[in-house]
Amino acid sequence: MIVVTANRVSGKRVARTLGLVRGNTIRARHIGKDIMAVMRNIVGGEVSEYTKLLGEAREQALDRMVDEARGLGANAIISLRFSTSMIMGGAAELLAYGTAVVLEDESDAAA
């Protein structure tokens, strides 16, 4: 599955547009990680506990979006975007969305 933030893929053309696909996850903070984050906030540096949490959330949202696109018969997703929103104190949604398409080689279209 090709997944890009661009509206097109070099050397390919959009043969069919299948529509919007999305994947999301909602993650809550963990009290143990919050304690470590507060300590890091005091001394400075990357809050690696949250970096890992958000990285896992991004991957899960992407996987869910790709699964939805495969179910439609897509071989690519173009115009990928991410969005996040606060659901409640300590919990946030991460959403991945894009356009499911069927791509074919530009040379195939000319033949």
Domains defined for the chain, CATH in brackets: 2-29+57-110 (3.30.110.70)
Are residues 57 and 27 in contact, defined by beta-carbon separation less than 8 angstroms?
yes
Give the DSSP letter of residue 8.
S
User: Between 48-72 and 31-43, two packed helices, what is the crossing angle to 10 degrees?
Assistant: 130
Taking all residues of the chain, what is their mean pLDDT, rounded to a whole number? 86
Pairing relationship of beta strands 12-28 and 91-105 according to DSSP bridges: antiparallel
At residue 36, the pLDDT reads 60
9-51 per-position pLDDT tens digit: 999 999 999 999 999 998 876 655 556 666 666 666 777 777 8
Between these two residues, 78 and 26, which has the higher pLDDT value?
78
Q: Categorize the per-residue pLDDT at 58 as very low, low, confident or very high, splitting at 50, 70 and 90.
A: very high
